[in-house]
């Protein structure tokens, strides 16, 4: 069965600093990988997805992620954090079934 | 356009009671999903509909949980004999088609509290 691991439930980053959220996946077949963001009292919103095309994927709000098969990773980055990036971020994997397996999430706090 | 909507936004019920949670997907989306998010956890898959039929219900935790989508649009998640462990946020998502690489569009969720 597919799964993802996100370490560090809370991540603090200074405004203007690099945002790095780590995601490692386990899948028996080539995976589809997603990053979602959840703002308070709102639904999950897709940031970006990997579907076996380019390994470097660019998403909304300046985020990007790189698929590395050798490391089974799909880490999310943003060069410069903004106060509006404060939210919870979830990595998810689908191995071809129509269901997503989510990690536990990272709560990002941006320090002014 | 209108996104996925879920009602009620909050539901408090007593242990042993029956509850229904409603999901209105984006118009025209044939695929509909239910997930459950417990405190401090990521969402967990419950059930997936393609049209009116449940294509995958492998995530339902036990036979107290049941979901329907009779006309291929609105879906209702039904929980019988609720237990305190059922307390969670129940998320609904929809997608234009039922393929694994398509984005799932999520609603804001229903927060269920069983006292």
Each as own residue / partner, the long-range contacts of residues B1-6 (CB below 8 Å, 24 or more positions apart, any chain) are: B1/B26, B1/B27, B2/B26, B2/B27, B3/A43, B3/B105, B3/B107, B4/A43, B4/B92, B4/B93, B4/B94, B4/B105, B4/B106, B4/B107, B5/B107, B5/B108, B6/B90, B6/B91, B6/B92, B6/B107, B6/B108, B6/B109, B6/B110
Residues of B in Cβ contact (< 8 Å) with A46 = 103-105
Would you give the distance in Å from CA A9 to the centre of its chain?
Answer: 13
Question: Residue B1: pLDDT above 70?
Answer: no
Q: Which residue of A has its CA nearest to B5?
A: A43
Residue-level pLDDT at B81: 98
Examine the pLDDT at B101 and tell me if it is beyond 80: no
Q: Report the percentage of chain B scoring pLDDT > 70.
A: 99
Cβ atoms of B3 and B53 closer than 8 Å = no
Chain B within 8 Å of A21 (Cβ-Cβ)? no
pLDDT at B34 over 80: yes
Residues of chain A with pLDDT under 70: none
pLDDT digits (tens, 9 = 90+) for B21-31: 999 999 999 99
Query: Is B91 in CB contact (< 8 Å) with chain A?
Result: yes
Q: Residue B90: pLDDT above 80?
A: yes
* Interchain contact A13–B (C-beta under 8 A): no
Mark yes or no for CB contact B109/A43 under 8 Å. yes
- pLDDT at position B75 is 98
Of A15, A3, A11, nearest in space to A79 by CA: A15
Secondary structure E strands in chain A: 3-5, 10-14, 19-21, 24-26, 32-38, 44-50, 56-58, 64-68, 73-78, 87-94, 101-102, 106-111
**pLDDT value of residue B2:** 84
A57 touches chain B (CB under 8 A): no
pLDDT of residue B98: 73
For chain B, list the strands marked E by DSSP: 5-7, 10-13, 19-24, 31-37, 44-50, 53-56, 65-68, 75-79, 88-95, 105-106, 110-114
Read off the pLDDT of residues B39-80 as tens digits, 9 standing for 90 and up: 989 999 999 999 999 889 999 999 999 999 999 899 999 999
Q: What is the tens place of the pLDDT at every residue in A69-98? A: 999 999 999 999 999 999 999 999 987 778
């Amino acid at each position: 069965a597919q799964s993802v691991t996100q370490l560090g439930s809370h991540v603090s980053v200074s405004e203007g600093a690099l945002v790095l959220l780590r995601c490692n996946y386990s899948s028996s077949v080539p995976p589809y990988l997603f990053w979602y963001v959840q703002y308070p009292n709102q639904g999950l919103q897709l940031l970006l997805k990997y579907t076996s095309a380019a390994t470097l994927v660019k998403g909304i709000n300046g985020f990007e992620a790189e698929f590395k098969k050798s490391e089974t990773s799909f880490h999310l980055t943003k060069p410069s954090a903004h106060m509006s990036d404060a939210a919870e971020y979830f990595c998810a994997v689908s191995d071809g079934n129509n269901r997503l397996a989510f990690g536990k999430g990272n709560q990002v706090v941006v320090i002014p | 356009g209108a996104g996925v909507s879920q009602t009620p936004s909050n539901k408090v019920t007593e242990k042993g009671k029956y509850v229904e949670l409603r999901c209105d997907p984006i118009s025209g989306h044939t695929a509909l999903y239910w997930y459950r998010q417990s405190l401090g956890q990521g969402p967990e898959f419950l059930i997936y509909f393609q049209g009116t039929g449940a294509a995958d219900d492998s995530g339902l935790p036990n036979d107290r949980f049941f979901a329907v989508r009779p006309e291929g649009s609105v879906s209702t998640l039904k929980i019988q004999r609720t237990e305190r462990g059922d307390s969670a946020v129940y998320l609904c998502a929809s997608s234009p088609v039922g393929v694994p690489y398509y984005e799932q569009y999520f609603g804001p969720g229903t927060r269920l509290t069983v006292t």
